[in-house]
Structure 1
């Protein structure tokens, strides 16, 4: 028999185990994102807002550079998250953005810059390289507590969602004006849900648009010859 005023050991263990176990009300969402012709859309962002409860962990972001391309092409992060920009190529890159949500530049470098970049304003941040004009990537910064980027088959899966009602937002780089679109309302029960969302995207360009000219133009032209 436990002493008066002492918390029983068994009760303590049960409480601890309940903290570690996933909540019984957790639901999952499996979604497919397609264009108007029904073709899968890779690099589409789906976000959820509405139901109170926990949010997915705000993990640090990583935007790599491989084979003179940004990897991933689209990175989604929560507002206030720092993103690192490693350069896995054997040549130097000069990463920059003129987007209102985040203006920055990482001057010519190899490896990984010592300081990540803080993305503290929601919005779409278009990335370019002043050495390789065809390089184009995006960081989608959101205040919404749940979000994911679709894979090559247009699939998205979110687990551990509180059951409840959500407002869906959708985004893709080929949307007109690159503005997010409402995806309607979603009711999630404990059993989860499977959904299909269509986006009216513009045809992909044959070649990426040339990056905006920088104020450092002449210096970058000289550096380009040295980097290649």
Structure 2
């Protein structure tokens, strides 16, 4: 009995493990003042950068950005810095993924249907990906220096879990809107409501990888 009493006293006195801190909320997209369908917000990226960031590890396995039906899939891809992205081709035609983005420029070269090639991204930043064959193909890679990121669900809701204590920067990124920023402390405050107004073009004006206009034919002859 005495042993049980001592054990009970120790358990009562021991502090309870603090639950993992979270930030949750909902994203709403608008265009020309009108709300868009909730599922369109699922492509957005939500990430949290602590004020005192820790080390970030590259992903153990490569991420994938597939070329499929003359589109990059997924269209918006968040990765951790130092990670590798593979560019498999599921189309029976040639593609050529490339980017002129600062610090993360690359050129995969022409590649046909199959596994494709891979590219490692060593610098944090935004990488806009084009196809040198098809002007309308645009992809977006966010190379993040934080492991705390997620996509919203089909209702536009998001939840970041396992966040470190303390303040940081909460960011919501979508290619057609100005990035949304807010200082946040995980575990404090209620759900965050984010409104993004889409004012940018889905296919921005751009040149090919040689800095010249694309050919007259929309498929570049392939």
Name the TM-score, length of structure 1 as normaliser.
Answer: 0.70
* 2-structure distance, mates of 1:193, 1:145: 22
Task: Look up the match of 1:120.
Answer: 122
Task: Look up the match of 1:185.
Answer: 184
Match of 1:197 among 172, 179, 194: 194
**Matched-pair contact (CA < 8 Å) for 1:134–1:211:** no
Q: CA deviation at 1:216?
A: 8.3
**Matched-pair contact (CA < 8 Å) for 1:66–1:87:** yes
Match of 1:63 among 62, 65, 73: 65
Question: Does the residue aligned with 1:187 lie in a helix, a strand or coil?
Answer: coil
Structure 2: which 5+ runs fail to align?
1-16
Q: CA deviation at 1:163?
A: 4.8
Task: Look up the match of 2:110.
Answer: 108
1:30 is aligned to 2:32: no
Task: Look up the match of 1:48.
Answer: 48
Task: Look up the match of 2:208.
Answer: 213
CA shift digits 1:78-126 (9 cap, x unpaired): 1111111111112111111011141111111121235x21111111111
Q: How many equivalent residue pairs?
A: 196
* 2-structure distance, mates of 1:103, 1:65: 19
The farther-off stretch of 94-103 and 155-164 is 155-164
Task: Look up the match of 1:86.
Answer: 88
Task: Look up the match of 2:7.
Answer: none
* 2-structure distance, mates of 1:45, 1:74: 8
Q: CA deviation at 1:141?
A: 1.0
* 2-structure distance, mates of 1:175, 1:101: 23
Question: Does the residue aligned with 2:143 lie in a helix, a strand or coil?
Answer: strand
**Matched-pair contact (CA < 8 Å) for 1:130–1:214:** yes
**Matched-pair contact (CA < 8 Å) for 1:42–1:151:** yes
* 2-structure distance, mates of 1:153, 1:58: 30
**RMSD value, Cα:** 3.3
| Closer/same/farther in 2, CA of residues 149 and 32 from structure 1, 3 Å limit | same
Task: Look up the match of 2:133.
Answer: 131
Structure 1: which 5+ runs fail to align?
1-22
